[in-house]
Structure 1
Amino acid sequence: MTPPVPLGADPDAPVALTFVIPVRHPDNASNWSALKANLGQTLASIAGQQHPSWRAVIAAQEGADLPPLPPGVHAVRVHFPPNRHYAPEGQSRADFHDAVRLDKGRRVLAALLAAGPTTHIMVTDDDDLVSNRLAATVTATPADHAIRFDEGHVWSPGSRILYTHPDFSSLCGTSSVVPLAALGLPPSQEAASTDYIKSMLGSHIAVKAALKDQGVTTTALPYPGAVYRVGHANAHSRSRNMLRTYLLNKGVLSNPPRALENLRRLRFYGDGERREFGLP
């Protein structure tokens, strides 16, 4: 592992890639100890980058208990209230998603405003894992280009099996690298509109559409870029166990071609994936 560029080492020299990790309010976590453990694995995964031109900034609630921060990772403390609409029950799907995007987007903005100069940013969910090749890839990418993760792995804790998803950027929020200049970052939280926060910073789907509208060149990452952790208590999407989602359910098993295709995308992981993504 190559040491990262420390925050503030040279304020005039941007790093290639800043990982931005928005951490929810403790009141919105069903099990903070588990969230903290998952976040620790996420940070270790980020810190395994093979190229030094990276930083990571966490936006976490003031007073929230965090795991030890590896070199190159910095925490920004925020004072946002808990998301009172975090649970989908009792509200429309649109209202639920709006509330989640606003809460996430505010935290992403807080991290970006404190991040220092960078050419690209990658919003990373607090329970996912990333490839250790990303900083090197971004360093070789033009500053005005975005990167899309066409493939990524889906994984459930306790399993040694990965499912390689063929449309990862539509599934998982940890799935794209964006040129900072394309975001039109405002100078403060107060200067940012609610619509901007929700669409450009709180939704990985909406920002893809915005980049396309701007004519930003987006290239596909030539390898699986991240691991989407599913089927655990704090999962953002309330996702199911990976095997139940992609194989062990009636809808898949009753469709033999689909079952065979999904089975083809399943494989055991080993030391190579442990080194690349920080899988346990």
Structure 2
Amino acid sequence: MLVFVIPLKSPQASNSWEHVSKLFERSIKSVCNQTSTDFHAVVVCNEKPKIEFTHPNITYITVDFPSANEKFLINQRHTDKGRKLLKGLIYAQEFSPTHTMAVDADDCVSKNLAAFIKQYPHHHGWFINKGYKYQEGSKHIYRKRSNFYKMCGTCNILRYDLNNFPEKAEYNRGYGYYKYYIDHGKVKDTLAKQGQPIKPLPFAGAVYILETGEHLFYDSTRLGFSIFNRQLLNESIREEFGLYNLYSNPKLFVNA
């Protein structure tokens, strides 16, 4: 089983909690649109978002990690994300996962992930090398042909034992304690040095959503857009990734 772990920021750390909730709702719908039912989603949050969407494969874990000034201090934001990832990844063992995948709460993922992972229960894991970049509301989407994993946190699928858990998890530590879970672009090389290499996923695995106003790391001002990588956002891509316009009335058919 593949377990998705989604850390969600607090209302206090959000520029707009309503907008964050809409972004999350699209993301969790995308996660739950898997073609295989052999998956679960663990969402770690300070406060459960007010959304209408429900699914039997979602578990919410509410935590009381401090969030004061989190909106303004980048190290606190990093630490908050790392704590929540570690909490969710450890909790994921309740579902006997073969693999886990950290998912940023505003990104979308391919509906084919769970079915693909189910075929390879003993594989070390995969990193997403190919994916898409999308600016909210655009009629176009941009292909990222390589190194997707370096720019987007929704990128690593790891066999559960390769999550490098501390012997006793602590949630009151600083940024450095959680670096393995936050520095997504370095996981591939770290595991290779440990003799546990992961492979590139053989298909585009995720969509990195830009210009949300809520990013922890990069935004479109830091990422170039080449016209040679641009294509119309067609129904096939929308359906595979559950990518709809946030402020319209989407028709997304979710496999329950």
Question: TM-score range with shorter-chain normalisation?
Answer: 0.7 to 0.9
Q: Verify the 8 A CA contact 1:144 1:182 in the aligned structure 2.
A: no
Unaligned runs of 5+ in 1: 1-14, 89-95, 248-261
Letter in 1 for 2:78: R
Among candidates 74, 97, 104, match of residue 125 of structure 1:
104
Percent of residue pairs identical? 26
Which residue of structure 1 aligns with residue 49 of structure 2? Answer: 65
Q: Distance in 2 between matches of 1:238 and 1:178?
A: 23
When normalised by structure 1's length, the TM-score is 0.78
Residues 101-120 of structure 1, C-alpha deviation per residue, up to 9 Å, x if partnerless? 32111101111232212111
1:68-217 to structure 2, matched below 5 A, reads 68-82=53-67, 84=69, 86-87=71-72, 96=74, 98-115=75-92, 116=94, 117-165=96-144, 166-186=146-166, 189-190=169-170, 194=174, 197-217=177-197
Q: Verify the 8 A CA contact 2:45 2:63 in the aligned structure 1.
A: yes
Q: Verify the 8 A CA contact 2:78 2:175 in the aligned structure 1.
A: no
1:8-27 to structure 2, matched below 5 A, reads 15=1, 17-27=2-12
Q: CA RMSD in A?
A: 2.3
Structure number with bigger Rg: 1
Residues 46-104 of structure 1, C-alpha deviation per residue, up to 9 Å, x if partnerless? 0110112110000010x44342332211100000011635436xxxxxxx3x4333211
Offset, 1:169:
0.6
- Aligned with 2:85: secondary structure? helix
Aligned residues between the structures = 240
Letter in 1 for 2:104: D
More displaced 10-residue stretch of structure 1: 67-76 or 155-164: 67-76
Among candidates 46, 53, 76, match of residue 31 of structure 2:
46
Q: Verify the 8 A CA contact 1:25 1:60 in the aligned structure 2.
A: yes
Unaligned runs of 5+ in 2: 245-256
Q: Distance in 1 between matches of 2:50 and 2:167?
A: 27
Letter in 1 for 2:125: A
Offset, 1:191:
8.3
CA 1:202/1:238 → structure 2, altered by over 3 Å: closer, same or farther? Answer: closer
Offset, 1:140:
1.6
CA 1:18/1:196 → structure 2, altered by over 3 Å: closer, same or farther? Answer: farther
Which residue of structure 1 aligns with residue 254 of structure 2? Answer: none
CA 1:240/1:184 → structure 2, altered by over 3 Å: closer, same or farther? Answer: closer
